Chains A and B, each alone.
Chain A
Amino acid sequence: MKTGTDITKKLVFAVAVAVVLALPWMTGPYTTQLFILTMTYGMLGLSFAFTIRVGLPRFDSAAWWGVGAYTTAILMTKADMSFWLTLPIAGIVSMAVGFLIYRIAIPRGMMVFLMFGMVIALAIQQLFGSVEFFGGWGGTEVIEAPAIGGLVFDGKRELYYLGLGFLGFNLICYYALMRSRIGRSWNAIGQSVKLASSVGINVVRYRMANVLISNFFLALTGSFYMAFSLVAVPATFGLDKSLNVIMYVIIGGIAYSLLGPLVGALILAFVPEYMRVAAEYESIITAVVIILVVIFLPEGVLGWVSGRARPWLLRRRPWVRSVGSKNKEPESG
């Protein structure tokens, strides 16, 4: 049945796609670069929003992002591998190392996972900086931009479209996972560990699968980061970055696991730029923004918009209403 809203919905979607595709032709290289950053940060946010669904907040997203970036950088420089070939390897390295660590953390529940995350974030950064092999605190560079045949991704526009490709892949996979029955079981764990295991869900295994998938996409985002930054510096992948990732998700709206992180990343990539604040004040601005959001927009920007938009435009994910959702019971496993 075709209805008026169906057509409007398609129209809105088509316009949105057209705008996204045309963006690098409507703005200069600097703004395009900000959009590339937005997509990168958005993908990091997506990974965080993904593990939050099984009730596991990760403080190590930037570390695994770095694992992806470094894997790509080292394979390209030391093994002379092509950029594309390094992508699956980066993902697998991140999953394999993650598995070794999380098989200890995940069975011990959310608090242990959270603590492990923080420690891992610091340890991995230290590893990149202190071990000579990784190029030290000055970082490691790649010279070669990724290319397919004659198409070289070295300009801002090309990189923008490459980023869209990565982002699209992320969104499609996350969407397919969440729509499936696996997604339903993940949500069940996020809402109540106790009830989920009482209906036969193996909480540890489902959480592990979820976190490792998140790890895979974080590493992939790291590889993409190497494509446009061409240099990996340990300072980029610190705990502070992981905290920023959480802010994208909270600002966008934690209940919107696909669009929320993107909106949050967009805001945090552009607001400091346009406020023209000096870099040393950026953290303070971010802190103020997050406090204001928690007080005035507890469901995030999208939560605020959806209260005012037509229902078809935004459908809220069914659980976790806000940052301080009152419906959730304390973790017991």
Chain B
Amino acid sequence: MSLLTLENVGKSYGRLEAVSGLEFSVDKGTVHSLIGPNGAGKTTVFNLITGTIRASCGRIVFDGEDITRLEPHKIAQRGIARSFQQTFLFMDYSVLDNVLTGFHMRDRAGVIREFLHTRAAREADERAREQALEIVDFMGLSEQKDELAGNLPHGHQRALGVSIALACDPTLLLMDEPVTGMNPTESNEMVERIRRIRDRGVTVLLVEHSMRVVMDISDMITVISYGKKIAQGLPDEIKHDPQVIEAYIGEDTDAA
């Protein structure tokens, strides 16, 4: 059953077509990877799905609802969370506070109660804190929970970015290059966590450069080049697809 469907989605800047006629759907409960050479438009696709940029044409349907023209916060509220390619974090917050910010939409006591700091508000805060600690623990950051995000090493910052997204309690998690810049150990840990995130029932749409990771983890792969879909299939099919191999000629297919 498909959770997210892109129908003939296009985005053009003047005469330049960043994405055109893109169609694919992501099945519930899978890890679906979106790959392609540099500049293929992968991040643009993420921006289109999350509403950061508006599609020029086509439709994006999430869970049976057309989300093409919704604002980013409304799309987040529908259950799509995202971890960014650049390490977008609240740099001057502690790790735990970063994750707590992700709880914005969950378990609110109401504005007046929060202002008056009533018992209901304090209890909601306490519950959020416990859940945030669970997420921090799950992502292997328990020892760093009080560290400022800006002071963390790169691998931990990536993990924190994912933690914030998880705090939104998403149905669909978009991950933009989660293992880029990580050493092999960190990268293996992240792969293991992405699996566990999927096993918890969260559907994952992944953009990643490292072919080793993509082939290892994906249930389904969509390949795009110059903003167009050129192939889709299981990892083994994609590995041997002549069009894909051609698109990647000259590219370092095993970066990272």
Contacts and interface: CB of A to CB of B under 8 A. Distances in A.
Asked if A and B bind, the verdict is yes
A194 to B, nearest CB: 6
A197 B100 CA distance: 14
A68 B71 CA distance: 35
Interface stretch (B19-27, B103-111, B190-198, B233-241): B103-111
B81 interface: yes
A184 B76 CA distance: 18
A320 B84 contact: no
Given A180-B115, A187-B90, A201-B104, A318 B50 contact: no
Contact of B121 (A180, A194, A197, A321): A180
A182 B111 contact: yes
A327 B92 contact: yes
B219 interface: no
Interface string A238-273: 000000000000000000000000000000000000
A320 B72 CA distance: 25
B101 A198 contact: no
Given A195-B89, A200-B105, A184 B100 contact: yes
A202 B76 CA distance: 10
A300 B89 CA distance: 25
Given A176-B115, A180-B121, A327-B150, A198 B76 contact: yes
B90 A203 contact: no
Contacts of A318: 92-94, 97
B82 interface: yes
Contacts of A179: 117
B205 interface: no
Size class of the A contact interface (CB-based, 8 Å):
20 to 34
A176 B112 CA distance: 11
A163 to B, nearest CB: 24
A181 B71 CA distance: 22
A199 B52 contact: no
Contacts of A176: 115-117
Interface in A311-333: 318-321, 327, 329
A202 B90 CA distance: 17
Interface in A194-224: 194-203
B168 interface: yes
A194 B97 contact: no
A188 interface: yes
Contacts of A329: 88
A224 B81 CA distance: 47
A198 B82 CA distance: 7
A201 B121 contact: no
Given A185-B104, A192-B90, A199 B76 contact: yes
A51 interface: no
B164 interface: yes
B78 to A, nearest CB: 9
Task: Tell me which of A185, A200, A202, A321 has the highest count of chain B C-beta atoms within 10 A of its own C-beta.
Answer: A200
A199 B88 CA distance: 12
Interface of B: 50, 52, 71-73, 76-77, 81-82, 84, 88-94, 97, 100-102, 104-105, 108-109, 111, 114-117, 121, 124-125, 150, 164-165, 167-168
24 contacts: A180-B114, A181-B104, A181-B109, A184-B97, A191-B90, A192-B90, A195-B90, A197-B72, A198-B50, A198-B88, A199-B76, A199-B81, A200-B104, A200-B105, A201-B104, A202-B71, A202-B73, A203-B73, A318-B92, A318-B94, A319-B91, A320-B92, A327-B92, A327-B150
Sorted from nearest, which 5 A-B pairs have the closest CB atoms? Answer: A200-B76, A180-B114, A319-B92, A197-B72, A200-B105
